[in-house]
Amino acid sequence: MAEDNKIPEQVTTGTDTFPDRQVKVNAQYIKDLSFENPNAPKSLMRSKEQPKIDINLDLRRSHLQDNTHALDMHIHAKAYTDEQTLFVLELVYGGLFTLENIPEAEIEPAMLIFCPTLLFPFARRVVSDVTRDGGFPPLTLEPIDFGKLYLQRQQQAGGGESAKH
C-alpha cells in the first residue's frame, strides 16, 4: 500500500520552488531478522542482576532507478549479564520510496531524516514483539530524532558530504 507524504519544512532548504515535493512509500518490509537465545532455558530464569543492553542502529540508502530509492534500517540489540548472553537480535527493516520533485541536494536529507522517521515505528514494533516472543520483557526502543543524528554526522564529516550510511 502506498502512502503519499509531504516532506516537512525542516527537510527543505531555501525558498520553496518545489511545492509538489512528495515521498511515496511503495513498500516496507523485513529484509532480515535473527533472534538468538543462546542460553535458553537458563537465560529465561529470573536473575537478580539487571541485564545490560547494547543497541546499534545504522541506515543504508541506495538509489535504484529514476526517483526510486531504498533505505535499510539495521538494528542490532544484545542483552547480557556478567554471566551470560541473554539474547541477540538483528533486524534489517527496509523501505522502498519514490521521491518526487525533490532537488538533488535534498535527496540525502530526505532519505536519512524523513524516510527513517516513517519506518522506525514499524521496526520498533518488530523488535518489541520478537523479544517478547523470545521469552523476555519487550524491548521498547526509545524514539530517535533522525534530524539530530543527520546533523551530527554532517558535523563529524566536516560539514561536507555525510559519512556513508
Domain boundaries, the chain: 3-9+19-156
Q: How far apart, in whole angstroms, are the C-alpha atoms of residue 86 and residue 43?
A: 5
| Band of pLDDT at residue 12, cut at 50, 70 and 90 | very low
Q: Express each pLDDT in 134-158 by its tens digit.
A: 999 999 999 999 999 999 988 988 7
Helix axes 115-133, 146-156, angle to 10 degrees: 110
How far are the Cα atoms of 42, 88, 116 from residue 143, in angstroms, in the given order?
31, 20, 11
| Band of pLDDT at residue 46, cut at 50, 70 and 90 | confident
One-letter amino acid at 29 equals Y
- CATH assignment, 3-9+19-156: 3.10.420.10
Provide the phi-psi class of 158: left if phi over 0, else alpha when psi is between -120 and 50, else beta: left
| Band of pLDDT at residue 34, cut at 50, 70 and 90 | very high
